[in-house]
Each structure stands twice: as structure tokens, then as C-alpha cells.
Structure 1
Amino acid sequence: MVERSGRKSVSRHRFKEYYDVAEHFYSAAGDSMELEYFTAAGVLIVHSAIAYTDALCIKLSGVKSIGENHEDAVALVESAVGDTGEKSKALNQLRRIIEEKTKVSYLGDLYTSSQTKEMWKRLERFRKWALEILLR
């Protein structure tokens, strides 16, 4: 597999594996919200969004972003997806989810219901757009 500055080549047929992982995180986030484990749900929401992003990049370009800077993944999916009416809005939702990653994962604060519901709403919007591409 060829690697170059924050990217890794992945066979395009493997996008389905990343999609499946994203769906597992998505389901687990929903379950965690129902159980009122809001911080856990927030972490799962972030990882679900990242896995959907990886699936999109792999399906469309045969590469995925590697490394700690998830903004690189946003830029990669932005370049991989052709212009669609919803692209800008969807990527904005993704950016907002990724902005929460450090807060929800590392600061040691418990997330509230309202914080997590806002993240969930953003994931739902991003996921809807991603599925339109992944399932065609």
C-alpha cells in the first residue's frame, strides 16, 4: 500500500468494511443515548463520523486519511466527492462533530443530554448525505 503525507492506499472494495464499522458505532451511539451514557455516545458519534468519512474516501478515491489531524480527512473527502448541493452542508456537520472530539474524549467532563443530542443531530445529517453516496 502506498503511503504519502497522511494518506494510505486502501482497495476500493474495502469501503464496505469501513461502512459496517461506521454503522456499528452509529448503532452503539444510539443505544448509549437511550441508556443516558451521553459521554460514551459522544465518543461513538465522533468515531462513527470518522468511519463514514473513511468509507467515502476509500470508495471514491481508494485512499484514507491517517494520522491525528482529522481535518485532513475532511479535506480528503471534500476533494473525493464531486460537487453536490448538500456537500458543503454535510462537510460542515462533519467538521462540527470533529471539533467535539477532544472535548468529549479527553477533557474528563461528562457530556450532557443536550450536548450529545446536538452531536447526534449533526451525525444524522452527515450520515444521510454519506449514505446517498455509499449505497449507490
Structure 2
Amino acid sequence: LYKALHCSKTMTEVAAIVLYGGTVLHPYSQMVWGPGTESINVLDLGPLHEELKQHLKLIFTNPKLIFGANVAPKTACFGGWPWCNPAAMAAAFKLASKIGHLRPITLALFQGALNKWKSFTTKFVPGGTI
């Protein structure tokens, strides 16, 4: 564990996952599985998935939303949700200034996620198979 915590490649991956998790996965999971969502049907999630893909595109085309000087959850997080773990997000943002490859690695993660979300959600679009 000590070696992993002092390995720049490992820490780059960890920070990228924290940024994706904090800005996309946690807000999405709360919208789908959080309190008050007991009656949501997966068939009703098409519009939410479209919003999620738009958010991923927004981050990818405007990385300052997560790498800028004044990063705020209102604009960085999907749906404007607050940080799920402010300490983890602060640590990832702090690492961003120290790890030169964090930005391109994180943006590649966002682009890859967008591609997978597109693939996964094609059946939910109007006229899709579902």
C-alpha cells in the first residue's frame, strides 16, 4: 500500500476515478437509487441518461469545470449536486496541480465513459428497442 500511495501512476488513476465518481457516478446513483426513487422504473430513465451524456460532453469540452481555479459542485457535478465527499474531492483537486497527466487521463476517462453511456443507452432513446 505504501508503494501504491507513492506511485504517481497509481495516484493519477485514483484521482481520476475520484473526480469521475464525485462529479458523475455519485450524483447519478442518488438520482436513480437514492431516497424517494423507489417508484422509478428503468424505462423512465431515457431523459436522465440524455442529460448525463450532455454533462459528460460539457466536462470534456470545458475541462475548467473540474480543473479550473473556481471549481464548484453546482457546475461540476451532474445535476448540480453537492460533493459526496468534499475531502476526497479537495485531495483530488490538490493532486491536479502536482500530477501533470491527471487532466488528460481524467478527460480520457470522461470520453470513454461517454462512449459507453452512448452504447448502453441507445435502446432507451425514442424509437429505441425499449
Mark yes or no: TM-score above 0.5.
no
Normalised TM-score (structure 1): 0.34
Normalised TM-score (structure 2): 0.35
More strand by share: 1
